[in-house]
Amino acid sequence: MRSVAIIGGGITGLTTAFRLSQSRVPVVLYEAGDRIGGPIRTINENGYVSEYGPNTILETSPKITSLINDLGLEQRRLDSNPAMNTNFIVRNGKMMPVPRSLLRFATSPLFSIRGKLRIGLEPFIRAKPKTEDESLGDFVQRRFGREFLDFAINPFVTGVYAGIPENLSVRYGFPKLKALEDTYGSVMLGAILGRRKRKERGEIKKTEAKKLSFDDGLQVLPDTLHAKLGQAVELRSKVTRLRQTADGWTLTFTRNGREEQRHHAAIVLTATAYNIAQIQIEADELANLSLLKEIVHPPVARIVLGFRREDVTDPLNGFGFLVPKAENLNILGSTFSSSIFPNRAPSGHVLLTTFIGGCRQPELANLPEEKLFDLTLLDLQRILGVRGKPTYRHHWLFPQAIPQYNVGHKKFVDLMDTTETHLPRLYFAGSYRDGISAGNCIVSGHDVADRVVQFLEVSNRSPSPHAILS
Ligand X SMILES: Cc1cc2nc3c(=O)[nH]c(=O)nc-3n(C[C@H](O)[C@H](O)[C@H](O)COP(=O)(O)OP(=O)(O)OC[C@H]3O[C@@H](n4cnc5c(N)ncnc54)[C@H](O)[C@@H]3O)c2cc1C
- Which residue's CB is nearer to ligand X, number 2 or number 238? 238
| Contact status: 333 vs ligand X (CB under 6 A) | no
HEC letters along the chain:
CCCEEEECCCHHHHHHHHHHHHCCCCEEEECCCCCCCCCCCEEEECCEEEECCCCCEECCCHHHHHHHHHCCCCCCEEECCHHHCCEEEEECCEEEECCCCHHHHHHCCCCCHHHHHHHHCHHHCCCCCCCCCCEHHHHHHHHHCHHHHHHHHHHHHHHHHCCCCCCEEHHHHCHHHHHHHHHHCCHHHHHHHCHHHHHHCCCCCCCCCCEEEECCCCCHHHHHHHHHHHHHEECCCEEEEEEEECCEEEEEEEECCEEEEEEECEEEECCCHHHHCCCEEECCCCCCHHHHHHCCCCCEEEEEEEEEHHHECCCCCCCEEECCHHHCCCEEEEECHHHHCHHHCCCCEEEEEEEEECCCCHHHHCCCHHHHHHHHHHHHHHHHCECCCCCEEEEEEECCCCCCCECCCHHHHHHHHHHHHHCCCEEECCCCCCCCCHHHHHHHHHHHHHHHHHHHHHHHHCCCHHHHHC
| Contact status: 402 vs ligand X (CB under 6 A) | yes
Q: Which of residues 409-468 bind ligand X (CB under 6 A)?
A: 430-431, 436-439, 441
| Contact status: 272 vs ligand X (CB under 6 A) | yes
| Contact status: 398 vs ligand X (CB under 6 A) | yes
How far is it, in rounded angstroms, from Cα 248 to Cα 466?
10
Give whole-number Cα distances, 93 to 107, 320, 375, in Å.
19, 15, 15
Residue among 38, 115, 318, 358 that touches ligand X (CB under 6 A): 38
CB of 307 to ligand X, least distance (A): 21
Residue among 136, 204, 300, 367 that touches ligand X (CB under 6 A): 300
Residue among 141, 244, 275, 338 that touches ligand X (CB under 6 A): 275
| Contact status: 239 vs ligand X (CB under 6 A) | yes
Residue among 6, 13, 303, 448 that touches ligand X (CB under 6 A): 13
| Contact status: 33 vs ligand X (CB under 6 A) | yes
Q: Which of residues 358-377 bind ligand X (CB under 6 A)?
A: none
| Contact status: 404 vs ligand X (CB under 6 A) | no
CB of 354 to ligand X, least distance (A): 11
Residue among 12, 61, 154, 459 that touches ligand X (CB under 6 A): 12
CB of 347 to ligand X, least distance (A): 26
- Which residue's CB is nearer to ligand X, number 318 or number 439? 439
- Which residue's CB is nearer to ligand X, number 143 or number 433? 433
Q: Which position's Cβ is nearest ligand X?
A: 38
Q: How many residues bind ligand X (CB under 6 A)?
A: 39
CB of 159 to ligand X, least distance (A): 8
CB of 187 to ligand X, least distance (A): 23
| Contact status: 220 vs ligand X (CB under 6 A) | no
- Which residue's CB is nearer to ligand X, number 268 or number 456? 268
Residue among 18, 19, 28, 54 that touches ligand X (CB under 6 A): 54
CB of 84 to ligand X, least distance (A): 15
- Which residue's CB is nearer to ligand X, number 148 or number 156? 156
- Which residue's CB is nearer to ligand X, number 345 or number 401? 401
Chain residues binding ligand X by CB under 6 A are 7-13, 30-33, 38-40, 53-58, 238-239, 270-272, 275, 279, 300, 302, 398, 401-402, 430-431, 436-439, 441
